[in-house]
Amino acid sequence: MSRLIHSRLTLSSFYNRLGSTWRGRCLSTESSNIDEPIKVEEAETVNEPPPPSDKLLVLGGNGFVGSHVCKEALNRGLSVASLSRSGNSSIQEPWANNVQWHQGDLLSGSSWKEALSGVTSIVSCVGGFGSNSYMYKINGTANITAIRAAAEKGVKRFVYVSAADSGVMNYILQGYYDGKRAAETELLVRFPYGHVILRPGFIYGNRRVGNMELPLGVIGSPLEMVLQQAKPLSQVPLVGPLLTPPVNVTAVAKVAVRAAIDPVFPPGIVDVNGILRYSQQK
C-alpha cells in the first residue's frame, strides 16, 4: 500500500483508503478534519504491566507536556528516556532521576539517533511557536525527521502530540498548523498501524517557567467545564474551533502513554473529546 501513498497524500484520503480496508480499527472522534468519521467500538483497556523490555522515548521530555508523559510512563513501570536540545530536565523531583536524559537537536546532525537504541515506542511532544518558518520547522520538519528515523529503526508505535484546529487562528499561525499537519501525514505513511495523533486544544496544568510554576489550571479548569457544555457551538465554522475545551496535562499524558504501549489502542486521530474519554477510563 505504501507505494500508492505519495508524499502529498492528505489525511482525509489516507483515512478513506485505510477505512475501506480496515474499518473497525480507527477511533472515531468528533474531529471535523476527516471526511467520514468511522464509528467503532473502543478498545478495552489492558491493565497489565508492560513487558520489562518496553522502552519509551519521549521527544521533548523536559517540556511542559513531555515531563508529565515521562512521569506517567514511569508510574506505569516503563523504562523511560527523553531527547531534547537542552537534555536534562530542570525539574527537581525524585522521578526525574529515573529518566535517561539525552541531549540532541532533531534539526541538526544525526548523533541524536543514538537515543533510539532499544526504543519500542515514542511520544513526541516537540513543537513550538515563533516565525512562520520556525514554526513549520519545529512542528513539522523536526517531527518528520524523527518519524522517519524511528521507522527505519523498527520502533513499533509512535504517538504525536499535535493540536486541534483553531479556526481563524489557523491563518494567523499558519506555519504552526501546516507543520502539525505535515508531521501527521508523515506519521500515517510511516506508521500506518502504529500511529496515534492527539489533537488537544489548550492544555492546562502547572507549567514551569525557570524556577516558577504557573498554575494554568486556574483558567483552564473552569473553562473546560463551561466549554464542555457548549459543544454544539463547536460546529460553527471559523469560530467554533476556538471553543475547543481545554484539557488537563495529566489527561493528555495518560492517554499518550496508553496509546504508546497498548497494542489494541486503535490508530488514528484522537480529538479533545477522545482524550477526555480515554483519560477517564481506568
Ligand X SMILES: NC(=O)c1ccc[n+]([C@@H]2O[C@H](COP(=O)([O-])OP(=O)(O)OC[C@H]3O[C@@H](n4cnc5c(N)ncnc54)[C@H](OP(=O)(O)O)[C@@H]3O)[C@@H](O)[C@H]2O)c1
Interaction site with ligand X (CB under 6 A) = 60, 62-66, 83-86, 105-107, 125-128, 138, 142, 161, 163, 200, 202-203
Nearest Cα neighbor of 261 from 58, 88, 66 is 58
Amino acid letter, residue 101: W
Q: Name residues whose C-beta falls within 8 Å of residue 271's C-beta, 6 or more positions apart in sequence.
A: 29, 30, 31, 164, 199
Query: From CA 142, how far away is CA 186, in angstroms rounded?
Result: 12
Distance CA 89, CA 39 (A): 40
Closer to ligand X at the Cβ: 202 or 265? Answer: 202
Q: Find the shortest distance in angstroms from Cβ 219 to ligand X.
A: 11
Q: How far is the CB of 36 from ligand X (least distance, A)?
A: 25
Spatial distance between the Cα atoms of 214 and 193, rounded to a whole number of angstroms:
37
Least spacing, CB of residue 238 vs ligand X, in Å: 19
- Calpha distance 61→83 (Å, rounded): 6
Query: How many Cα atoms within 13 Å fall on the side-chain side of residue 258?
Result: 25
Give the residue with the Cβ less far from ligand X, 34 or 57.
57
Question: CB 137 → ligand X: shortest distance, Å?
Answer: 8
Give the count of beta carbons closer than 10 Å to the beta carbon of residue 25: 16
Cβ-based nearer residue to ligand X, 85 or 113? 85
Closest by alpha carbon to 25, among 278, 263, 274, 273?
A: 263
Write down the least CB distance from residue 20 to ligand X, Å.
Answer: 30
Q: Closer CB to ligand X, residue 46 or residue 226?
A: 226
Q: Shortest Cβ distance from residue 93 to ligand X (Å)? A: 16
The rounded distance, in Å, linking the Cα atoms of 257 and 121 is 9
Query: Reduced to 3 states, what is the DSSP secondary structure of residue 209?
Result: strand
Nearer to ligand X, 106 or 276 (CB): 106
Closest CB to ligand X among 13 and 174?
174
Q: Which is nearer to ligand X, 138 or 150 (CB)?
A: 138
SS3 label, residue 100: strand
Distance of CA 59 to the CA centre of its chain: 10
To ligand X, the closest distance from the beta carbon of 16 in angstroms equals: 26
